[in-house]
Chain A
Amino acid sequence: MAYNLNINGRSMTVEADGDTPLLWALRDILGFKGTKFGCGMGLCGCCTVHIDGVATRACQTPIESVGTSEIDTIEGLATSEPGRRIQRAWLDLEVVQCGYCQPGQMMSAAALLTETPDPTDEDIDAAMSGNLCRCGTYNRIRDAIKYAAHLDATTMEDAR
């Protein structure tokens, strides 16, 4: 069956069963490879996207459940100001190691900043503990979120 999805501001059609997880529609059908597969059970956060601005695990989101909601993926992160802050902070503080979990980390962090512009440690724990990182970059992720919160957006270089 065909589903129309609103992804990064564009309408796209996916031909697949309705129970197909959004993750695989993005990766294998539409070619958005930035959203990663890590566990398939909503336990690791690698597949985090925004659905109507809310950080959501794409591996647990059937395409039939999305409707006309706005889906934003890591490929569209730089179009939002919190997203640009997060990407700039990730580069300035050298967060990444293997980098595989980082799209999901950045999506969770950007959603946090949108909701809570100046998050506390407790806010960061609550928003980020669903995102695993086996390289153990948590200290730098925490620092980068706080750094991003205080970046002067007017002087910020494009992260890319």
Chain B
Amino acid sequence: MKHFSDRPQAGLSRRSFLLASAAAGGGLLIGVSLDPASAKEAAKQSFVPNAFIRIETDGTIILTMPYVEMGQGTYTSVPMLIAEELEVGLDAVQLEHAPANDALYAHPIMGAQETDGSLSMRAAWQPMRQAGAAARMMLVSAAATRWGVDAADCHADNGFVVHVKSARRIGYGDLAAAAATMPVPQQVVLKDTSSYKLIGTPQKRLDAPQKVAATAQYGIDVSLPDMKIAAVTASPVLGGQVSSVDDGATRKIAGVRDVIRIPDAVAVIADHWAAAKKGLDALVVTWDDGPNAQFSTAQHMANLENAAQRDGVVAVQKGDVAGVFARAERRLEADYRLPILAHAPMEPLNCTAHIHDGRCDVWLGTQAATRAQKAAAAAAGLPLDRVEIHNQYLGGSFGRRAEADNVTQAVLIARQVDYPVKVIWSREEDTQHDFYRPAYFNRLKASLDGDGHITSWFHRVVGPSPLARWLPIAVQNGLDPDAVTSATGPYELSDIHVDYVRHEDHSFQSGFWRGVGTTHNVFIVEGFVDELAALSGKDPLEFRREHVKNNPRALAVLDKAAEESGWGTPLPEGTGRGISLLQDFGGTILVHIAEAAVDKEGAVRVSKITSVVDCGKIINPDTVKAQIQGGAIFGLSAALYGEITFTDGRVDQGNFDTYAAVRMDEAPRVTVHLIDSGDKPFGVGESGTSGIGPAVANAVYAATGKRVRQLPITPELLKS
């Protein structure tokens, strides 16, 4: 089974498009549109009812994927939506990476061609089913016209249109040319959900055969005629510049072709990366470090804490928090901290660029193709329409490949040579030049009444704002909505104050990391709620139940988690159970229950994780389970090991020895239980990561009595 066609993309932008735009409140307004002139042109060869579907006259069905595949399974779940409505099997479709084109492929919620925020299925749910349904209706119309029968008497079935009364059937390929001349239906009729054959059933990943055969092409695997390969070193301090380069020893190394200097980096280009890296290691570079040469994380954390003295921009204000708190008998105050994190995808960052004939071609795996295109155009000094992004599979990303710094760098290098150049970062370069999940300082205060109910809740979030850089329009009046998402959890509270103090030291680049604001705040809120439960003398799970009692979905998830985890049953001496609850990503509710023990040296061992997730409508249940399992392990790496520190403006960590991740012998069994609760899907890809830190921290408390108010949970922290 071949799943990728290598057919060129030319002409798509002049054909049809499916119009989708964000409505107030995050809902979707959808319309299907088709340019008739383009349809006639398309009809000559194939049926292209919209930008996502192409049916060739030989029956080949090609789906153009505007969402990228970085492991989360969109290359299967998005085709499931289209195939369901188009009435074809998944094995009948081939996939194509979409070219960079916001007009055709902009994310309906984010407004640009992006894959992030666990938003793909929420964004795709309506337009992709409509795309499939519109195509199906046009194919049915074409068949009915050919047979001279009423379209209402015909139906689509597994790649054919069938007229039962006359026992006739005709394949989509034979109808492709005629279907292209049919009017686009004004009213697209979606299938009844009860008749779904694909949606909601476990479907095999379409990308798995290529990945198991190791033929899947990632950005780092791109190969072009005459291409050379570069290793690069960028200023170790943000904002630093190259001061001098001595490449005498480098140029003597066999295979080295060029040494290229750009303002903040030096690249050694060679016939293969080993020679390039050897050349890079032989290079003597001096740097002008610039203004950030004194930056340290110790100072940064102190600055964040000092900033907490300021009043923040108010995100939520309800009732009389200060008054209730002042009068309460039982009160709790706590400060929580989170460290800077790197993404560390297994495929180190890379980008291939070729500037030729007044054009710029760029190959990489990117979450944001049009952002990459804009960066390349700016670096190349070319208009957007002279820049083509050739997207590839992403070897992990977790938010890192939403940025385009590697594109800018590769294009600036490529401008100085007349051949295609593939720039590959070393692991150390990748770790030390990230757009990091920023550190946060959080101040919390809450009070309880005599029955152990929360009567006031104060949460101040202090930290940088990646969103203000990335999507400035989303930050209104200084309030970063991502920084305060989930800042009260799903809890039913009466008197609330949540505010945000933005503090930037401008000494490192901050960006989005799997779970973004949710991952940050769920750790804070679920740790603090656990502390409040202890103060109330109640069971942590029961305490949470009492504060979501009007939320039947949350109650159902909590109850299922209690049952599946054996909550309350005895554990071996020294082992504790910890819980976390979250509701975010549009409506996903997830409970993790972790079992953990701490050894004499203070090392945490997580032995078991039970997860229950209600993500609304489930598209591909096995992918949901895989995402929760993997997301939990990703979050566990951060909870136990993840911390980037700076000394003298330089990142102290480099490779996987100093920036560690969970390995096979440390990975607990993650058992996932699903609840299908709705008529539309919510976000999944990040949810499994977000709640794992607090579940483990709360398990450590249950095991040891030691509260964990910061990550990572190191032996030093537990001994302090």
Contacts and interface: CB of A to CB of B under 8 A. Distances in A.
Interface of A: 16-17, 19-21, 23-25, 27-29, 31, 33-34, 36-41, 43-44, 46, 74-75, 77-78, 87, 90-91, 94, 96-103, 106, 124-126, 128-142, 159-160
Contact of A33 (B223, B348, B397, B637): B223
A28 B277 CA distance: 13
B396 A100 contact: yes
Given A40-B426, A94-B204, A106-B212, A16 B220 contact: no
A91 B212 contact: yes
Contacts of B397: 98
Contact of A17 (B69, B211, B254, B629): B254
Contacts of A136: 629-634, 636, 662, 667
B272 interface: yes
Given A33-B217, A43-B655, A134 B398 contact: yes
A74 B216 CA distance: 12
Contacts of A20: 272, 274-275
B212 A142 contact: no
B700 interface: no
B667 A97 contact: no
Nearest to B629: A139
Interface string B180-223: 00000000000000000000000011011111111111101101
A98 B273 contact: no
B278 A44 contact: no
Given A94-B205, A94-B626, A28 B271 contact: yes
Given A78-B213, A134-B344, A134-B346, 8 more contacts: A20-B274, A33-B214, A40-B426, A94-B205, A96-B208, A99-B395, A102-B214, A137-B629
A129 B70 contact: no
B229 interface: yes
Interface residues on B, range: 35 or more
Given A16-B274, A29-B272, A96 B205 contact: yes
Interface in B608-631: 622, 626-627, 629-631
Contact of B427 (A40, A98, A103, A135): A40
Contacts of B229: 28
B24 interface: no
Interface in B255-313: 255, 271-275, 277-278
Contacts of A138: 633, 662-664, 667
A99 B629 contact: no
Given A33-B217, A100-B395, A139 B667 contact: yes
A114 B424 CA distance: 34
Contacts of B665: 125-126, 128-129
B77 interface: no
Contact of B629 (A27, A128, A140): A140
With most chain B CB atoms within 10 A of its CB, the pick from A96, A131, A140 is A96
Contact of A97 (B214, B221, B272, B630): B630
Task: Sort A-B residue pairs by CB-CB distance and give the 3 closest, nearest first.
Answer: A136-B633, A100-B395, A34-B214
